[in-house]
């Protein structure tokens, strides 16, 4: 979610070179929601607290606390789901903690979730289990979908996914039989070349089982700053322009983060020569990161807005460090839209700072790009920006933009807070500047430091839709074309002797930037390659020995951890490590450097619909590295 200041900076830069972590993460969800519901931000979230049956695909909330599903104490909520007699099923090639506690764990071959989900759809159709429920009247394309999933029979899908045919059938029947059910797919299922299809197919199963938008199913959250919507809109457009280096189309005006290195190094019109990085460490977090690291070194100019001198910011000509999170007020505009209850929470800045806030850094950078200079008049700039943003609320409570702004002014209000106040007061829950006296505003949130619980999610169809006709086409044209690609993939031969590399997360880590905090990295080495003992035997690897892992783009040596939790033929390595590059000032992190998994991920392996990178199911070879043969020879003598 871009803040108004980041958006204005991007606009002032006037560039199509826009990249973010979205294309190494959840862009598939935006694209599938855009195509289905007309709004890339209308993302259904599982109703964790009320569901009877939860199917989780490629997510490990016991470590991650969940993602694109905002739920304080996600694991506790799963435990309560089981306690009330519910079921949760995990699909993951690794028997994670989440999987270990599950009612049922299925360990597929990585990269086959879209195939599996369409296999479930196939069973629902062929066994007459489709029950659309309340959304039936809004849906188009069901017959076309039924035809499209015909090739995905449980038998064919079993051979692609490595799962039992009977398990696939059973899972579909269980989903259909559950009083309420929700399917939830995340990183493991979406960071691959069929990512958008996997995301779309999650919604498809929720729709076919009558669980979209019903309590206990997958619902649209309505946090304190949002309106219910009109039920129609301009719809979603995709691929309005294409990348000159990869041919991939834009998604939400973004280009694939994986293509940044080529954009910098390949000469020609539109070559990327200068970069502003805000809160990103792509040298560790994006594919073929060695290549990107070298490419950053070739830029004419680079700015990093980041508190750390890390692997990426070390490449910058100038680093502008923002003050820490406790020195700014906070209301989460993005992640509350994905919360499992309707909520609103604002917290004030707690620690005073004399340094410019991040919003001011971005505002001054924007003024530089606007030709006003970094020392331009900040007040005028922010007043104009906020006034522009408030335009769309003109008329709320019968007030003009000027009147709205006057009502939000206050001695300790940052510009972002003033805008937020207008959003909250104009929302479904807001006081509408007096029209709705029981409604909320920023002052009422301030008086409630623990935040407001506005209740469980409520059905939002059809209002949440932004499609031009106010309907849902379950098989939008770009998806239909991509299903053909998936159908062809059913017949693709998988090479022998190859391992598939997947990632994992750990509770005490957060991508790349928690490794310089001693208390979070102490203890045993966590940056290990998980190898199944049977594969270890075959390869001559034991716990603690070194494996050499080689992919299409890179190679690295890493310590082995044997584990029967991982599916044979699959190896797992966490990301965000590899802190041994010169020129950083990360003392603790460099002493616990680990290796960078993204040395192995391929910048050219992309999901064509979303531009999302393939970060899981990477084909690799694994071999033992003989690190120290000399002592053995001595012993023989
Ligand atoms: N402690 C901690 N919390 C975090 C983060 C962190 O780094 N540390 N990162 C945050 C971020 S940015 C995000 S996006 C979220 C992500 O949150 P999650 O989506 O829960 O991500 P992971 O914990 O990586 O779990 C992904 C799982 O997918 C499995 N997997 C890999 N490949 C496949 C596949 O092809 N199919 C299936 N079905 N499974 C597969 C992996 O084995 C792994 O268990 O976590 C957030 N929370
Ligand atoms: N192989 C593999 N790669 C992955 C993933 C995977 O599962 N496997 N996961 C992917 C996912 S889901 C994601 S989201 C990306 C994350 O990719 P990135 O966002 O690039 O990675 P982070 O390590 O989260 O970097 C955050 C940066 O923000 C800085 N920062 C912290 N606080 C602030 C602040 O208040 N202001 C500013 N301006 N900066 C701040 C940190 O110092 C750090 O440099 O990684 C992706 N990469
Ligand atoms: Mo992420």
Orientation angle between helical segments 401-408 and 378-390, nearest 10 degrees: 120
Q: Is 484 left (phi over 0), alpha (psi -120 to 50) or beta?
A: alpha
How far apart, in whole angstroms, are the C-alpha atoms of residue 184 and residue 19? 26
Q: Which of 24, 45, 48, 67 to mutate to test the pocket of ligand 1 (most atoms within 8 A of CB)?
A: 67
332 in contact with ligand 2, CB cutoff 6 A: no
Distance (angstroms) between ligand 3 centre and the Cα of 619 equals 22
Residue 212 has φ and ψ, to the nearest 5°, of: -75, 130
pLDDT (tens digit, 9 = 90+) per residue, 57-73?
A: 999 999 999 999 999 99
CB within 8 Å of 4: residues ≥ 6 apart: 385, 386, 389, 415, 416, 419
pLDDT (tens digit, 9 = 90+) per residue, 255-287?
A: 999 999 999 999 999 999 999 999 999 999 999
Distance (angstroms) between ligand 1 centre and the Cα of 191 equals 10
Q: How many CA atoms lie within 13 A of 258 on its CB side?
A: 31
Nearest CA owner, ligand 2 atom 30: 279
pLDDT at residue 634 in the model: 44
Distance (angstroms) between ligand 2 centre and the Cα of 512 equals 6
Q: For the full predicted model, state whether its pTM sits above 0.95.
A: yes
* Residue 41 pLDDT greater than 90, yes or no: yes
pLDDT band at 636 (very low <50, low <70, confident <90, very high): very low
H or E element that contains 341: strand 341-344
How far apart, in whole angstroms, are the C-alpha atoms of residue 457 and residue 214? 9
Q: Which of 128-132, 259-263, 325-329, 390-394 has the lowest mean pLDDT?
A: 390-394
Q: Which of 78, 188, 284 to mutate to test the pocket of ligand 1 (most atoms within 8 A of CB)?
A: 188
321 in contact with ligand 2, CB cutoff 6 A: no
How far apart, in whole angstroms, are the C-alpha atoms of residue 603 and residue 219? 34
Instruction: Report in angstroms the alpha-carbon separations of 548 from 580, 600, 621.
Output: 18, 11, 8
Segment 220-228 mean pLDDT: 97
Report the atom number in ligand 1 closest to the C-alpha of 110: 35
pLDDT at residue 373 in the model: 94
How far apart, in whole angstroms, are the C-alpha atoms of residue 275 and residue 349? 30
The 10 Å Cβ neighbour count of residue 79 is: 13
4 in contact with ligand 2, CB cutoff 6 A: no
Distance (angstroms) between ligand 1 centre and the Cα of 292 equals 23
pLDDT band at 627 (very low <50, low <70, confident <90, very high): low
Ligand with an atom nearest the CA of residue 110:
1
Distance (angstroms) between ligand 2 centre and the Cα of 187 equals 14
Distance (angstroms) between ligand 1 centre and the Cα of 578 equals 19
pLDDT at residue 637 in the model: 37
Segment 579-589 mean pLDDT: 94
278 in contact with ligand 2, CB cutoff 6 A: yes
601 in contact with ligand 2, CB cutoff 6 A: yes
Find out whether 310 and 340 touch, Cβ atoms under 8 Å: no
pLDDT at residue 628 in the model: 58
How far apart, in whole angstroms, are the C-alpha atoms of residue 160 and residue 156? 7
125 in contact with ligand 2, CB cutoff 6 A: no
Ligand with an atom nearest the CA of residue 187:
1
Report the atom number in ligand 2 closest to the C-alpha of 576: 23
pLDDT (tens digit, 9 = 90+) per residue, 548-569?
A: 999 999 999 999 999 999 999 9
How far apart, in whole angstroms, are the C-alpha atoms of residue 151 and residue 398? 57
511 in contact with ligand 2, CB cutoff 6 A: yes
Distance (angstroms) between ligand 1 centre and the Cα of 66 equals 8
Ligand with an atom nearest the CA of residue 365:
2
Distance (angstroms) between ligand 1 centre and the Cα of 75 equals 14
Mean pLDDT over the full length of the chain: 95
Report the atom number in ligand 2 closest to the C-alpha of 324: 35
pLDDT at residue 124 in the model: 98
187 in contact with ligand 2, CB cutoff 6 A: yes
Nearest CA owner, ligand 1 atom 8: 510
How far apart, in whole angstroms, are the C-alpha atoms of residue 208 and residue 129? 8
Residue that wins the pLDDT comparison between 390 and 296: 296
Q: Which of 168-172, 339-343, 385-389 has the lowest mean pLDDT?
A: 385-389
pLDDT (tens digit, 9 = 90+) per residue, 125-147?
A: 999 999 999 999 999 999 999 99
Q: Which of 93, 163, 505, 607 to mutate to test the pocket of ligand 1 (most atoms within 8 A of CB)?
A: 505
Q: Which of 3, 6, 21 to mutate to test the pocket of ligand 2 (most atoms within 8 A of CB)?
A: 21
Find out whether 502 and 616 touch, Cβ atoms under 8 Å: yes
Q: Which of 21, 45, 54, 58 to mutate to test the pocket of ligand 1 (most atoms within 8 A of CB)?
A: 58
pLDDT at residue 406 in the model: 86
Report the atom number in ligand 2 closest to the C-alpha of 278: 38
Distance (angstroms) between ligand 2 centre and the Cα of 345 equals 24
pLDDT band at 455 (very low <50, low <70, confident <90, very high): very high
Structure token digits, residue 25: 């993460």
515 in contact with ligand 2, CB cutoff 6 A: no
Cis ω before 164 (30° cut-off from 0): no
Q: How many CA atoms lie within 13 A of 147 on its CB side?
A: 6
Strand order in the sheet with 182-185: 104-106, 87-91, 53-57, 182-185
pLDDT band at 626 (very low <50, low <70, confident <90, very high): confident
Find out whether 58 and 190 touch, Cβ atoms under 8 Å: yes
512 in contact with ligand 2, CB cutoff 6 A: yes
User: Which residues are near ligand 1 (CB < 6 Å)?
Assistant: 25, 57-61, 63-65, 67, 91-94, 96, 110-111, 113, 186-189, 502-505, 507, 509-511, 572, 616-617
Q: Which of 26, 278, 279, 289 to mutate to test the pocket of ligand 2 (most atoms within 8 A of CB)?
A: 279
Distance (angstroms) between ligand 3 centre and the Cα of 285 equals 10
Distance (angstroms) between ligand 2 centre and the Cα of 575 equals 10
pLDDT at residue 1 in the model: 61
Segment 467-488 mean pLDDT: 98
393 in contact with ligand 2, CB cutoff 6 A: no
| Residue ranges near ligand 3 (ion) with Cβ within 5 Å | 25
């Amino acid at each position: 979610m871009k803040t108004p200041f980041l958006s204005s900076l991007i606009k002032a830069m006037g560039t199509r070179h826009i990249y973010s972590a979205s294309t190494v993460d959840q862009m598939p969800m935006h694209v599938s929601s855009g195509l289905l519901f007309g709004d890339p931000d209308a993302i259904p979230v599982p109703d964790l607290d009320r569901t009877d049956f939860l199917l989780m695909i490629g997510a490990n909330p016991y470590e991650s606390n969940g993602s694109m599903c905002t739920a304080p104490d996600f694991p506790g909520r799963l435990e309560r789901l089981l306690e009330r007699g519910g079921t949760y099923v995990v699909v993951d090639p690794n028997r994670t903690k989440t999987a270990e506690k599950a009612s049922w764990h299925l360990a597929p071959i990585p990269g086959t979730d879209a195939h599996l989900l369409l296999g479930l759809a196939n069973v629902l159709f062929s066994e007459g289990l489709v029950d659309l429920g309340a959304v039936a009247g809004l849906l188009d394309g069901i017959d076309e979908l039924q035809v499209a999933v015909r090739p995905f029979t449980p038998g064919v899908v079993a051979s692609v996914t490595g799962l039992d045919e009977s398990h696939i059938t059973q899972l579909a029947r269980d989903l259909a039989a559950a009083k309420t059910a929700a399917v939830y797919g995340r990183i493991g299922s979406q960071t691959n070349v069929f990512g958008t299809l996997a995301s779309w197919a999650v919604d498809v199963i929720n729709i076919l089982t009558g669980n979209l938008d019903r309590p206990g199913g997958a619902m649209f959250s309505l946090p304190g700053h949002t309106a219910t919507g009109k039920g129609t809109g301009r719809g979603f457009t995709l691929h309005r322009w294409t990348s000159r280096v990869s041919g991939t189309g834009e998604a939400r005006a973004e280009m694939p983060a994986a293509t940044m290195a080529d954009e910098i190094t390949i000469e020609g019109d539109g070559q990327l020569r200068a970069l502003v990085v805000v809160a990103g460490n792509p040298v560790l977090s994006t594919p073929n990161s060695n290549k990107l690291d070298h490419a950053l070194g070739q830029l004419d100019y680079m700015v990093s807005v980041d508190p750390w001198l890390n692997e990426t910011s070390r490449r910058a000509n100038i680093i502008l460090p923002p003050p820490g999170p406790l020195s700014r007020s906070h209301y989460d505009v993005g992640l509350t839209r994905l919360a499992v209850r309707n909520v609103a929470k604002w917290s004030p800045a707690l620690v005073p700072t004399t340094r410019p806030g991040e919003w001011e850094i971005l505002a001054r950078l924007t003024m530089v790009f606007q030709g006003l200079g970094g020392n331009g008049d900040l007040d005028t700039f922010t007043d104009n920006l906020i006034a522009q943003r408030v335009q769309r609320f003109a008329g709320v409570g019968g007030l003009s933009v000027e009147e709205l702004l006057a009502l939000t002014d206050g001695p300790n209000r940052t510009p972002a807070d003033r805008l937020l106040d207008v959003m909250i007061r104009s929302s479904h829950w807001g006081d509408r500047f007096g029209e709705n006296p029981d409604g909320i505003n920023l002052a009422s949130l301030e008086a409630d430091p623990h935040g407001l619980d506005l209740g469980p999610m409520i059905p939002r169809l059809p209002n949440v839709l932004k499609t031009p006709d106010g309907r849902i086409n379950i098989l939008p044209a770009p998806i239909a074309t991509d299903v053909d690609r998936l159908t062809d993939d059913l017949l693709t031969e998988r090479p022998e002797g190859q391992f598939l590399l997947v990632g994992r997360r750990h509770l005490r880590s957060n991508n790349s930037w928690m490794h310089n905090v001693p208390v979070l990295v102490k203890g045993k080495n966590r940056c290990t390659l998980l190898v199944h003992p049977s594969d270890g035997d075959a390869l001559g690897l034991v716990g603690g020995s070194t494996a050499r892992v080689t992919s299409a783009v890179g190679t690295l040596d890493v310590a082995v951890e044997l584990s029967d939790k991982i599916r044979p033929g699959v190896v797992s390595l966490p990301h965000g490590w590899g802190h041994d590059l010169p020129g950083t000032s990360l003392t603790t992190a460099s002493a616990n450097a680990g290796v960078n998994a993204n040395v192995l991920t391929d910048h050219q392996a992309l999901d064509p619909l979303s531009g999302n990178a393939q970060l899981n199911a990477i084909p690799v070879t694994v071999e033992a590295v003989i690190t120290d043969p000399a002592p053995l020879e001595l012993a023989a003598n």
